[in-house]
Structure 1
Amino acid sequence: MIQYDKENMRVFQSSLYKTTSAVIELNEAIVMTDPNWLPQEVDEIKAYVNQIRKNRALYIIYTHSDFDHIIGSGAFPDAIVIASQAFNEHKQKDEAINKVHAFDQRYYIQRNYKPEYPQVDYVVSKDGQKLILGKSTLTFYLAPGHTNDGLFTVIEPAGIFLSGDYLSDVEFPFIFDSYLEYLKTMNKAKDIFSLHSISVHVPGHGHTTEDKTEMEDRLKFAQAYLDQIIDMKENMEEILKGRYIFFQGMKDIHVENQQLAFNEIKQFTLHSKETLYD
């Protein structure tokens, strides 16, 4: 499972959708993201955490509430949970857990823990909110667009950027919440790269990178994709097919992105005109 292992961070990668879970070792605490997917994979992550923990507090950052990112929550009952306010106030928590149960039922999976929606201990309600853990600072940014409860985290002085389901090298933007909010979140990501000295980027799906050119390319492509999908350009599918080896499995999401963006822009334009005439 080990995708990246250097200095104070090990990134685990699931066999499913290249989903990542980062485990970061600080002097005062262990910080982890989104433990996932399969029981053996969650067990491997848990064994590593237990190996290095040494009585330190364990913090888990849930980057958003998609069921594949909360599927391992019950395996870490004593963790201090960090998530966005929208994650904490999710109105369909039972539905998220029901998706976990449906997945396990479909593939005959048994777990040695009870999946449950994470109870948030530290709620992030605004951009730039900080949590100090000894000599390390965690800075948080709200990141809606993919879902409404997304969360970016920057850990300094290590320069680690945990982006959740944004800026992936294996997925184009998946817009399940809002096209306009996704645009804003990409501008926010651009600001993060300007405000912070980012040394390593960990996406929720795909590969961890230390290459600043690669980080910039991921951001630029996401922004270009968002700019072009509302024009329904026919060559966009060919571009995506050439960039993402699993595009055929994601093609329907691209079509849904286009429709969502088109409808949202249409509604925004109509509302703007109504407001102008009022």
Structure 2
Amino acid sequence: MKAVSVHADVIVVTSRIWKTTATLVRSGGEAFLIDSPIMPDELEILPALAEQAEFPISGLLATHADWDHLLGRYAFPEAALGVGETTAARLTAEPGAAARELRDFDEEYYIDRPGPLSLPGVQALPVPGYCAVGEQELQLHPADGHTADGSAVLIPWARVLVVGDYLSSHAIPELSPGASIDKYLATLRRFGPLLTEADVVVPGHGEPLDGARAAAILREDVAYLEALRGEDPERAPLPLARRTGAQKNLHQYNLSLLRDGKAV
């Protein structure tokens, strides 16, 4: 796991698998963890990292209900978990789905954990809205489209924007069952003004980005999605830096969801 300070009050950790990011943010005598790393040893050392950096974690936030963003309770079992209203609704509608998907992942890669994923007492937060941390407030913004749920978190005093599974420099836009290209594009367009308020953008997968790089990725992702919903989605252009074999396979996956009516 890699940890980098992007502001005096913000540390971004990146898991060694899928480059999944988690963001520690503090204000005054309180700190939150947004999303989570994946591997058990990463989660095990996270409390020590937070303590050494003087980030007293008292709460957890998750940008959406995909299992790889919900593992913070393994590191901070006493911390309350807050999610946007759409994510709370998805967790209610899909009881146990995240735990089953985590179990499948662990079985595939022979990973042992101290116990099954448990998410009692999830708190639904209004989006758009605000969430207090210490002496400051986080801004919560809608970010659906990749999935049926989602929120982005702006840390105004640090000028850091945590976007969830958007704006990755490694992966093209990924649809999922229940995803919507129109809503995905609407989210990207909402990010436009937010990027002017951020010096650092933290994607759900990949390294933190400066504002200019994030804006360039946003433009590329809009072009890809508009082509994906056009007359010839098979030929939707992949951004030049993301034309790997894995991303070509992901493009085929997106096409399969559209053909099967599982995404629109």
Q: TM-score if structure 1 supplies the norm length? A: 0.83
Give the match's secondary structure for 2:96.
helix
AA partner of residue 252 (structure 1): N
Question: Over aligned residues, Cα RMSD in angstroms?
Answer: 2.4
Q: Tell me how far apart the structure 2 counterparts of residues 262 and 104 of structure 1 sit (CA, whole Å).
A: 30
Alignment of 1:1-278 (within 5 A): 1-6=1-6, 7-53=8-54, 56=56, 58-90=58-90, 91-117=93-119, 119-121=121-123, 123-127=124-128, 129-176=129-176, 177-194=179-196, 197-209=197-209, 211-231=210-230, 232=232, 236=236, 239-240=238-239, 242-244=240-242, 247-260=244-257
Q: How many Å apart are 1:167 and its aligned residue?
A: 0.9
AA partner of residue 258 (structure 1): L
Q: How many Å apart are 1:156 and its aligned residue?
A: 1.7
Q: How many Å apart are 1:256 and its aligned residue?
A: 3.1
Asked if structure 2 preserves the Cα contact closer than 8 Å seen for 1:166 and 1:204, the reply is yes
Q: For the structure 1 residues 262 and 192, does the alpha-carbon distance in structure 2 shift closer, same or farther, using more than 3 Å as the test?
A: farther
Give the match's secondary structure for 2:185.
helix
AA partner of residue 229 (structure 1): L
Asked if structure 1 preserves the Cα contact closer than 8 Å seen for 2:234 and 2:255, the reply is no
Q: How many Å apart are 1:226 and its aligned residue?
A: 1.0
Q: How many Å apart are 1:111 and its aligned residue?
A: 1.7
Q: How many Å apart are 1:171 and its aligned residue?
A: 1.0
In the alignment, structure 2 segments of 5+ residues that lack a partner are none
Structure number with bigger Rg:
1
Asked if structure 2 preserves the Cα contact closer than 8 Å seen for 1:166 and 1:203, the reply is yes
Give the match's secondary structure for 1:25.
strand
CA deviations 1:131-168 (Å, max 9, x no partner) are 23343221101211111121101012111100010111
AA partner of residue 244 (structure 1): R
Asked if structure 1 preserves the Cα contact closer than 8 Å seen for 2:143 and 2:149, the reply is yes
Give the match's secondary structure for 2:138.
strand
AA partner of residue 202 (structure 2): V
Q: Tell me how far apart the structure 2 counterparts of residues 262 and 95 of structure 1 sit (CA, whole Å).
A: 24
AA partner of residue 192 (structure 1): L
Give the match's secondary structure for 2:5.
strand
In terms of fraction of residues, the more helix-rich structure is 1
Q: Percent identity at matched positions?
A: 26
AA partner of residue 252 (structure 2): V
Q: Tell me how far apart the structure 2 counterparts of residues 14 and 88 of structure 1 sit (CA, whole Å).
A: 25
How many corresponding residue pairs?
A: 257
Give the match's secondary structure for 1:93.
coil
